[in-house]
């Protein structure tokens, strides 16, 4: 992203706080504002609406307005009506064009799309937007109506969430029956109908999208008279995963006296500094409540996480893995950063008081860990856990 911005800044890329001028000068206007979730699961489309009013005030000729923000089904139509009723210029088209970008690989996902989804009220606008994407790579384009485009976004994200909760459920059983969830996922994923992605068992999905979109679709279903119990179970399973890893820790340490726990990785996934809905946060809160002292490591998010725990005295933060685990009784892995995968296991063994690792992301080979002398507790790899 830095490279792209530097290359194009003040040439083909301009930043401004002047919304009026930027709309007036554009042929195509993208709405990409945030759509936060309310406590009842409703999505707040206030920012999208105010963008629509600003655009309506500044329409000075035909433009295509592209709705990129993730919005409840029916929003594009609503936004179309706002612009239509508030603008003096009547020539415009609105297009719903959801994004499928992952944090940490957004530039790649933008340039190389699995699919381009365009929901529009007429074919001309739809084709024009497709033309705009001509220099991008996409396997297939779907031309459809507003509602279908909006639904594709929610259905995609919530299906990914469902896959993760499903494999986490399988992992729980694997622990009890002596099966290995990594091999189970591999065996399942080789079936093209299932696919191998998003079958990585762990401590549950976090971030700004999967948890939010799952709750939002349950709410959308509810307002349309349908009880989406499957998705409710997806959320329930997800929340149980962080409790499960704590049970694992308690099991792993039942015969020793543990005070200090090293936590490796805090962000909701690697290659981002995002802590939104990161499973590490409730896990740490619970461990502090249980009376443990925490030494936490993350390569990028320490500044942000410190603020979250500013009132806590029993937690300290580190950007160096070895300083983190030095004199810790045991350690837990909560994000699969490369820095953690590459850790010097011999040194780790020397620094920890007990050779116990509870791994919420299954990043190490069990045999290798055992040969180093670790008691290694991954998720779903055949170790019965208390409380099941
Ligand atoms: C997601 C969607 O992937 C993307 O298409 C959409 O546009 C935005 O939401 P993102 O939030 O960046 O992207 O994260 P993603 O890579 O999907 O991971 C979400 C969470 O699921 C992470 O906490 C990750 O650790 C977890 N996850 C992912 C698993 O636990 N197992 C998996 O197999 C995959």
pLDDT per residue, tens digit, the chain (388 aa), is: 999 999 999 999 999 999 999 999 999 999 999 999 998 889 999 999 999 999 999 999 999 999 999 999 999 999 999 999 999 988 999 999 999 999 999 999 999 999 999 999 899 999 999 999 999 999 999 999 999 999 999 999 999 999 999 999 999 999 999 999 999 999 999 999 999 999 999 999 999 999 999 999 999 999 999 999 999 999 999 999 999 999 999 999 999 999 999 999 999 999 999 999 999 999 999 999 999 999 999 999 999 999 999 999 999 999 999 999 999 999 999 999 999 999 999 999 999 999 999 999 999 999 999 999 999 999 999 876 644 4
In sequence order, what are the residues at sequence separation of 6 or more whose Cβ sits closer than 8 angstroms to the Cβ of residue 195? 189
Q: Is 326 helix (H, G, I), strand (E, B) or coil?
A: coil
- Cα of 205 to ligand 1 centre, how many Å? 6
Choose the residue to mutate in 32, 102, 361 for probing ligand 1, maximizing ligand atoms within 8 Å of C-beta. Answer: 102
Nearest residue (CA) to ligand 1, atom 15? 102
Closest atom of ligand 1 to 168 CA is: 30
What predicted TM-score, i.e. pTM, was given to this entire model?
A: 0.95
User: Given 174, 209, 328, 331, which residue is catalytic?
Assistant: 209
- Cα of 210 to ligand 1 centre, how many Å? 7
Residue 269 to residue 261: CA distance in whole angstroms: 20
Ligand 1 and 266: CB distance under 6 A: no
CB atoms within 10 A of CB 250: 15
Q: What is the pLDDT of residue 385?
A: 62
Q: What is the pLDDT of residue 387?
A: 44
**174 counts as catalytic:** no
Ligand 1 and 200: CB distance under 6 A: yes
User: CA 346: distance to chain centroid?
Assistant: 33
Written in H, E and C, the secondary structure of 116-145 is EEEEECCHHHHHHHHHHCCCCEEEEEEEEC
């Amino acid at each position: 992203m830095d490279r792209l911005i530097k290359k194009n800044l003040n040439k083909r890329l301009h930043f401004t706080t002047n919304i009026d001028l930027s709309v007036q000068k554009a042929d195509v206007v993208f709405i990409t504002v945030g759509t936060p979730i309310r406590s009842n699961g409703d999505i707040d489309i206030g920012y999208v609406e105010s963008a629509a009013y600003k655009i309506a005030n500044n329409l000075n000729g035909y433009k295509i307005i592209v709705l990129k923000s993730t919005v409840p089904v029916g929003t594009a139509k609503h936004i179309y009506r706002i612009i239509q009723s508030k603008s003096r210029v009547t020539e415009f088209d609105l297009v719903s064009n959801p994004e499928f970008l992952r944090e940490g690989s957004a530039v790649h996902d933008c340039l190389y799309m699995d699919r381009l989804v365009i929901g529009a009220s007429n074919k001309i606008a739809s084709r024009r937007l497709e033309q705009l994407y001509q220099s991008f790579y996409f396997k297939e384009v779907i031309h459809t109506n507003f509602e279908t485009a909006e639904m594709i976004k929610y259905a995609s994200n919530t299906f990914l969430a469902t896959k993760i909760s499903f494999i986490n459920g399988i992992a729980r059983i694997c622990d009890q029956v002596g099966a290995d969830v990594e091999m189970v996922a591999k065996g399942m994923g080789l079936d093209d109908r299932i696919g191998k992605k998003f079958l990585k068992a762990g401590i549950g999905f976090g971030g700004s999208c999967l948890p939010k979109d799952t709750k939002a679709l349950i709410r959308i279903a509810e307002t349309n008279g349908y009880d989406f119990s499957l998705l409710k179970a997806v959320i329930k399973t997800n929340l149980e995963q962080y409790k499960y890893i704590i049970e694992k820790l308690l099991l792993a340490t039942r015969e020793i006296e543990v005070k200090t726990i090293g936590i490796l990785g805090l962000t909701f996934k690697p290659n981002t500094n995002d802590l939104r809905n990161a499973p590490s946060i409730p896990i740490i809160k619970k461990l502090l409540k249980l009376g443990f002292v925490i030494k936490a490591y993350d390569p990028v998010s320490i500044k942000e996480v410190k603020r979250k725990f500013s009132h806590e005295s029993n937690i300290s933060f580190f950007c160096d893995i070895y300083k983190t685990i030095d004199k810790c009784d045991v350690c837990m892995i909560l994000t699969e950063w490369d820095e953690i995968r590459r850790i010097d296991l011999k040194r780790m063994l020397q620094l920890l008081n007990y050779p116990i690792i509870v791994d919420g992301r299954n990043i190490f080979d069990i045999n290798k860990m055992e040969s180093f002398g670790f008691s290694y507790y991954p998720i779903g790899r055949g170790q019965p856990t208390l409380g099941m």
